[in-house]
Amino acid sequence: MGRVHNFNPGPSAIPLPALQTAQKELLDYNGLGLSVLEMSHRSKDFDAILAETKKSLTNLLQIPENYSIIFLGGGASLQFAMLPMNFLAQDQCADYINTGAWSAKAISEAKLFGKVNIAVTSEEAKYTFIPSPEQLKLDPSAQYVHLTSNNTIFGTQWHYYPDTGSVPLVVDMSSDILSRSFDIKKIAMIYAGAQKNIGPAGVTLVIIRNDMLEKVKAGIPKILNYKTHTDKDSTYNTPPVFNVYMIHLFLKWIESIGGLAAMEKINREKKDIIYSVIDGSDGFYKGTVREDSRSWMNATLRLSSEELEATFVTDAKANGFIGLKGHRSVGGIRVSMYNGVPLEAVEKLAEFMKEFRKKH
C-alpha cells in the first residue's frame, strides 16, 4: 500500500485500523446509506457516537462523575484565550508555568484578561527542563495554575503534576493526552487538540470538573462560555462531527490493544529505543534537554552541523521516514512518537539512525 513511517509532529499518525474503519464506513455508516460526514449532529446516530466517545474516554482515563467532557472547535489555541476569559477577571491573578512556546502563547492571552504570575520559567535555559516542585512560586490566591504537560517544540515533558492545594490545576495536554496514565483527580481542567494522540485536527477535547463551571464569569459571549457547551453536551452549535467520530475510532483502537496501560507500555518502549540510540551514539546524536525532563512524545536532538541534519532528514525520507525535521523555531531533529506511531516504525527508525551514524 506504500504508507510511510509517519513521524509528523502534528497532525500525525492515526492507527491503520481506525483509518480502515473510517474508509469502510465512509459511504454507508451503519447501513444508514449516508456518511458520518453528511450526518445531522442532532441525529440519534451522532448522539450514539458522542456517547460512545465519552464512554471510552471515561473508561480509559477513569474520569470521575463530577467532570464533564466536551468537544470544541478552534484548536488548543482557542483554549489559551477561552480559559482566562471564563475564569480570570482584571483584578484577579492566575499562575502560569512557562516551559515552552505554547505556554508562552497561553500566557500572552491570559494577560489580556487579568494578572498573570509566572510561577517559574525555563525560558532563560532555552526551555530545556521541567521545574522541580521547589522551584514553583505559586500564588495561593490564584484563580488557577496553568501548565503545558508536554512541550512539543522543545521536547520536554512533566513527569509529575504539582500539588496546587485548593487552587485548580489546568493542563494543556495537546501533545500527550492518553499516552500514559495519570491521576485525573489532581486536575480541574484538561484541554487537548486531538491531532497528535487521539484523532485528526479540528476538534479539541476539554475535560472540566463541574465545580469550575459555577465560577464562569458573567458577560462573556455564549459561544465562548464552557457552560454553554457542557449544558448542551457539545451540540449548542454544530460540532466537528466527523472529527469526533475519528476520535471514537482512535479510542476503540486503544481499547482493542489493552487500554491506557498497554498504550503507556508501548510508548515507554518507543521512547526507550530512541533515547538509547541517542545515548549510545558517543555524542553523534546530542539530546537537547535535561535527561530527567525528556519527553516520551517528542525526542529532540542535534547533529554536529546543520548540513548533516539536512542530510539526515533527506536520507530518512528516502528510506520512508517522514516528519523528522525539528520545529522551524529551534532547528535540529525531532522524533515525534505519538500514540498512532507503531513500535515497529520506531524500531526501524532506530536501525536507520544507527546506520546513518556508521555512514557519517
Positions touching ligand PMP (CB under 6 A) are 10, 75-77, 102, 148, 152, 172, 174-175, 193
CA 330 to chain CA centroid, Å, is: 20
39 or 333: whose CB is closer to ligand PMP?
333
Q: Are 29 and 346 in contact (CB under 8 A)?
A: no
Q: How far is the CB of 194 from ligand PMP (least distance, A)?
A: 8
Q: How far is the CB of 152 from ligand PMP (least distance, A)?
A: 3
Whether 102 is a known active-site residue: answer yes
Buried b (16+ CB within 10 A) or exposed e, 232-271: ebbbbeebbbbbbbbbbbbbbbbeeeebbeebbebbeebb
Rg (CA), the chain: 21
Q: How far is the CB of 99 from ligand PMP (least distance, A)?
A: 10
**From residue 65, how far is each of 147, 171, 188, 225 by CA, in Å?**
24, 19, 13, 21
Q: How far is the CB of 151 from ligand PMP (least distance, A)?
A: 7
What are the residue ranges of helices labelled H in 62-157?
Answer: 75-87, 101-110
81 or 316: whose CB is closer to ligand PMP?
81
Query: What's the distance, Cα to Cα, between the start and end of the chain in Å?
Result: 32
* Marked catalytic residue, from 54, 95, 176, 196: 196
Match 515533558 to its residue by C-alpha cell.
Answer: 157
DSSP of 208-237: EEHHHHTTPPSSS-GGG-HHHHHHTTT-SS
Q: How far is the CB of 347 from ligand PMP (least distance, A)?
A: 25
* Marked catalytic residue, from 102, 158, 253, 296: 102
**From residue 28, how far is each of 35, 41, 51, 300 by CA, in Å?**
5, 17, 20, 42
Contacts of 332 (CB under 8 A, 6+ apart): 288, 300, 301, 302, 303, 309, 326
143 or 295: whose CB is closer to ligand PMP?
295
DSSP of 187-215: -SEEEEETTTTTS-TT-EEEEEEHHHHTT
The residue length of the chain stands at: 360
Cβ atoms within 10 A of the Cβ of 213, count? 17
56 or 336: whose CB is closer to ligand PMP?
336
* Marked catalytic residue, from 54, 95, 158, 172: 172
Q: How far is the CB of 156 from ligand PMP (least distance, A)?
A: 11
Q: Are 263 and 178 in contact (CB under 8 A)?
A: yes
Q: How far is the CB of 106 from ligand PMP (least distance, A)?
A: 8
128 or 152: whose CB is closer to ligand PMP?
152
Whether 231 is a known active-site residue: answer no
Kind and range of the H or E element at 159? none
101 or 316: whose CB is closer to ligand PMP?
101
102 or 285: whose CB is closer to ligand PMP?
102
Residues with a known catalytic role? 102, 172, 196
